[in-house]
Chains A and B, each alone.
Chain A
Amino acid sequence: MPETKVGLATEGPSRLQAILNLSRDAILSISLEGTITAWNAAAERIFGYAPDEIIGRPLATLVPADRRYELASILERIQQGHIQETYETIRVRSDGIPIAVSICIGTIGKGGHVTGAVAIVRDLSETNRALEAVEESSAKLNEREQMLQRALSALRKTHEAAKSTQMQLVQAVKLESIGRLAAGVAHEVKNPLAVILFAVDYLKEAVPNQDENITVALTDAREAVIRADSVIRGLLDFSTATELTTDLQDINALVRRSMGLVKHSFTKGHVFVVEELEEGLPPALLDRNKVEQVLVNLMINAVDAMPEGGTLIVRTRKDRMVGGPDVGVRATDTFRVGQGVVLIEIEDTGTGIDDKSKARLFDPFYTTKPPGKGTGLGLAVCKSIVALHGGTVKVANKEGGGGARATVVLRSVRPEMEVPRDG
């Protein structure tokens, strides 16, 4: 076969020469003293020295100054005939640029004597560059993945925020339409109510009080008018609960004033009142009348929840928001992290809130009170007033039961922002 002939024809020194010249790795030989004695084409390409420039020069020519310590050990082991190893190190090119290499070195000899060594040097720069490129790509991929993850989570958050904003909008539109309707209807309904009330009062005075049924009928009619009027008033509160006239308020003074307004109900309902008002609270920017309306409402609810009497605790304290469902950086979050707030808590020892009512407490027209006692608008109005102040109101059962607690959280103002009283 022709191939065999070629193979046979390339036997001998020329084959070795071909291997040397075809090799992509540098192949060089050194003498026992460390002088370079042979140099192939790849060595010239890797190190930049032509054979006639390097042959006869010391191996140290290829070793950077900070690696010279390797030389003595290598030469010593060559001389002892022990060396046969592969290692990675740094060598230096003719233009002074260091290159990463992998060196395979082994001794050679003649007639049982070690005459020197042969080294095969592989340029690792390309491999390293490839590796670096791979690492770089992988890092970039990681980065992109993280970016995608971040984008995804931001998207999720935005979606949540959008959903919650939409719900708030729907609610706002609902309330606004109730408000508009209320304002329009109120005027038309209040006039006939006024007529009925005058008529009932007139009849009560004018009709001789002999028939007991007449008295009952007139009393019922009068109460019905007052009830209808309170529904209309509740509705009107929606239409007027959109604007605030705020100034800096001392929360404790405001709480005490509100308690004063409900004092009669406390006495009538056999309710013992405990005041736990923290001194030195920061002021808050509030519409005094509207917040009083909220507190009066919550206290009346508490009294109504204790038909047999009980204890009502009114507590105030300051705090800073650190976490929770209403705290964060989204536009829909009520409070920032670190926001200074004042809390007003109203606790009763009543029956608490049943599971059915929990979700509907703040819905307009939802009430658990007997007919005539409540319009179901009190808490809805409270919520809309507190929300206008950038605060929250929550009503929940006390931990361990035995009554409910209403908590109003309002943003406080740093005392230094307070307008100085004297000039």
Chain B
Amino acid sequence: MDKLRILLVDDEPSFTRMLKMSLERRGFEVVAENNGAYAHTVAADFLPDFVFLDVIMPDVDGGEVAAKIRCNPKLKDVPIVFLTAAVSKETTRVKGNMIAGQTYLAKPTTVDEVVRCIEREMKKKAGAKSA
């Protein structure tokens, strides 16, 4: 089975570096992009199965990046999860990791949690397709 392809978009290189290393250790194929403005072109090239997006970045916000990625017909159904320091764990826990219909994961988080999130979202996508 092919490795699951994960795209990480975050302006903090050390963050993407650490998460990339951790996820690769768990068997994922990971591409990291630190410039939000280029994220959709990288996504169009890499065609990820899953995207983690930062919300607050210097030039562009995560919502815009998500919209641009989804503009690509090949990526219109790709699961996108916002991985952000802008919400607290309590908020995401109480609201079931959803805010305004969008899935969030609060920083800091563990690799285990990140992996669980990927599995959950992929299962959701598979369920939606078969339905």
Residues of A with Cβ closer than 8 Å to B? 186-187, 189-199, 201-202, 205-206, 225, 229, 233, 236-237, 240, 289, 293
Contacts and interface: CB of A to CB of B under 8 A. Distances in A.
Contacts of B112: 201
A202 B111 contact: yes
Interface string B35-76: 000000000000000000000100000000000000000000
Given A187-B85, A191-B85, A229 B108 contact: yes
A201 B22 contact: yes
Interface of B (DSSP majority class): helix
B89 interface: yes
29 contacts: A187-B85, A187-B86, A190-B85, A190-B107, A191-B85, A191-B107, A192-B14, A193-B107, A194-B15, A194-B109, A196-B108, A197-B110, A198-B15, A198-B18, A198-B111, A199-B18, A201-B110, A201-B111, A202-B21, A202-B22, A202-B111, A205-B22, A206-B25, A225-B108, A229-B89, A229-B108, A233-B88, A237-B90, A240-B88
Interface of A (DSSP majority class): helix
Interface in B78-124: 85-86, 88-91, 94, 106-112
B31 interface: no
Contacts of A240: 88, 91
Contacts of A191: 12, 15, 85, 107
Given A190-B108, A193-B107, A229-B108, A202 B88 contact: no
Nearest to B108: A194
A233 B107 CA distance: 11
Contacts of B86: 187
Q: Which of B19, B21, B88 has the most CB of A within 10 A?
A: B88
Contacts of B14: 192, 195
A401 B14 CA distance: 54
Nearest to B23: A198
A236 B89 CA distance: 10
A335 to B, nearest CB: 29
A195 B88 CA distance: 17
B90 A233 contact: yes
Given A202-B25, A237-B88, A187 B56 contact: yes
